Structure 1
Amino acid sequence: MALTLVHYTDGKTAGWGVVFDRRLAPLAAGALTTGELIDQHWDDIWTKTPNDASIALSSVKLLSPVTRNQQFICQGTNYASHVRESGMDPKSISFNTIFTKASSSIVAADEPVARPAHVAMLDYEIELGLVMRRSIPAGTQVKPDELHKWLAGLVIVNDLSARDIQLPQVQFYKGKSYRGFGPVGPYLLLPTAAEWKRWPDLHMRLAVNGQTRQDAYGREMIYQPAPTLTELAQLQDLFAGDLIATGTPAGCAARAPSKAVMFIFRHFVSDAGKWKLFIKKNAANPAYLRPGDQISATIRTDDGVLDLGEQTTKIVHP
């Protein structure tokens, strides 16, 4: 059975523990990072039982289960539904879009997030996060039934994005890396080898102020975890605790202009003028996040066997 791992503080010190029902079994490990915990204390985590749960979960504050020293790697345009709402044809996606996000953007699942004063188009993106179990040697070919060998667990990620920075400047990193733009957690779910096969059944839902905006399953990914890990192993070093956010489905606030508008932009408006008009029109879109908005994000199988918890993020003034 999967274990639910948390990073927490009692107000004085931070620690790690395994959740059983609404109680917490603390780990003796003094690990300062996610990678250190996974790499050096993996077997200890799996020895915990409900009898060790001595702390009420309600008595501690949960931190992000992925610490800020870890790499934060992202996939883009990885759900056909999101590709279509972005104005593209899913059949035209012939490569896996990879970019990075600043790890300093990582915050706890219930941490308030400030919308920068100069950002008018703050968007949400629920994503299934993969957390590395170990380093992958260069050139490794990861098979779909071997995910448990390379991945430790699963987390909820909200890839908050300043579209009025990301799109006109064509800068994914800059538009997505402001402090607070990466809520992660609350749980790091550690599936068993058999349970890893159920990742396609994970149901992703995101709501803003109680209104459902995104609703999809992991199986809808275009580039799934195994080929993505294989490709990343050809590119760079990956380490225990590193985070890979696997893309978002349809339902974001951002929408592509109509074909008629795109024709006018392409033939009659300069690039600078195009983006000025785009931002002016979209800044009034009520779907974009504003101070006071409350986001709820969940990822779980419909039978509840695998449950990554719930993020409750409030957008606030800077």
Structure 2
Amino acid sequence: MHDSLFSLPEPVTIPVRGETSEYPVGRIFCVGRNYAAHAAEMGHDVDREAPFYFTKSAPNAILSGATVPYPPGTGNYHHEMELAVAIGQPVFRANSAEAWNAVYAYGCALDMTRRDLQIRERNKQRPWDLGKDVENGAVFAPLTRTADWSPDDDKRIHLSVNGEIRQDAKLDELIWKIDEIISHLSGFYHLRPGDLILTGTPAGVGPVVAGDVIDGGIEGLDPIQLTLSDAQ
């Protein structure tokens, strides 16, 4: 074996309701424009040809309840409330039944976005990384195992900033359902435990500033909170 030149941070682990062991964050996949009203507010039509994805780096993940600085390089930092799906077993080219069986747990998540940088790069047909893969920009609440919660269509997903509701929708507004997402994504990646999929955000995304407190929830899951401090 070879000695490493330096040590890397330990992976973030997410608490699981009722479990003493925690879920380590591996890869983070995010589904773009997966609610029709959100696609419309971003100036796009609903696309049922195929889902599309972007990724976030695992070291940029943090846990609910954190206070983090407003990120550098942006003047238009946005909240996006999402349902996170945690993969619990290897799956590749999954059918619908295999996709459902691969899910270990669900949880609330925030996909924080430097919207000005995302739009700037998108308009130049460049990657979105500066806009989406933000330090402290993937926030996770404790997970709930599939035996204790299911993503029924009528479950509410919502987010408020300083107590004011910004996002309020139902999971039946998802364009691509959970099994469809896993089936499609597993045609390109060997999905494995530690992989998390953020399934998209409803309409109502908007800017936050230093000092804001973001609270979100999905009916039946542990809520999520993030506080922004001054930029550093």
Residues of 2 paired with 1:153 and 1:17: CA distance? Answer: 8
Matched, 1:206 2:159: yes
The corresponding residue for 1:178 is 134
**Given residue 118 of structure 2, which amino acid in structure 1 is its aligned partner?**
Q
* TM-score, reference length from structure 1: 0.63
Residues of 2 paired with 1:240 and 1:201: CA distance? Answer: 28
Checking the alignment, whether the CA contact within 8 Å between 2:14 and 2:140 is kept in structure 1 is no
The corresponding residue for 2:56 is 101
Residues 6-85 of structure 1 aligned to structure 2 (within 5 Å): 18-19=17-18, 27=20, 34=23, 67-68=24-25, 70-85=26-41
The corresponding residue for 2:76 is 121
Checking the alignment, whether the CA contact within 8 Å between 2:106 and 2:144 is kept in structure 1 is yes
After superposition, the C-alpha distances for 1:36-84 in whole angstroms (9 at most, x for unaligned) are xxxxxxxxxxxxxxxxxxxxxxxxxxxxxxx34x110000010001011
Residues of 2 paired with 1:151 and 1:297: CA distance? Answer: 22
Checking the alignment, whether the CA contact within 8 Å between 2:17 and 2:144 is kept in structure 1 is no
Q: CA RMSD in A?
A: 2.1
Checking the alignment, whether the CA contact within 8 Å between 1:101 and 1:176 is kept in structure 2 is yes
The corresponding residue for 2:90 is 135
Residues of 2 paired with 1:130 and 1:199: CA distance? Answer: 14
Identify the structure with bigger relative contact order (alpha carbons < 8 Å, sequence gap 6+). Answer: 2
Choose between structure 1 and 2: higher helix proportion: 1
**Given residue 232 of structure 1, which amino acid in structure 2 is its aligned partner?**
L
The corresponding residue for 1:155 is 107
Matched, 1:86 2:46: no
Residues of 2 paired with 1:83 and 1:224: CA distance? Answer: 16
Q: Secondary structure at the match of 2:84?
A: strand
Q: Which runs of 5+ in 2 are unaligned?
A: 1-12
Checking the alignment, whether the CA contact within 8 Å between 2:28 and 2:55 is kept in structure 1 is yes
Q: Secondary structure at the match of 2:153?
A: helix
After superposition, the C-alpha distances for 1:132-171 in whole angstroms (9 at most, x for unaligned) are 01010x322123xx65511011011100000121110123
Q: CA 1:117 to 1:202, structure 2 compared with 1: closer, same or farther past 3 Å?
A: same
- Percent identical residues: 25
Residues of 1 paired with 2:14 and 2:191: CA distance? Answer: 24
* TM-score, reference length from structure 2: 0.85
**Given residue 141 of structure 1, which amino acid in structure 2 is its aligned partner?**
N
Indicate the structure (1 or 2) with the bigger Cα radius of gyration: 1
Checking the alignment, whether the CA contact within 8 Å between 2:71 and 2:135 is kept in structure 1 is no
The corresponding residue for 2:8 is none
1:97, distance to aligned residue in structure 2 (A): 1.4
Q: Secondary structure at the match of 1:113?
A: strand
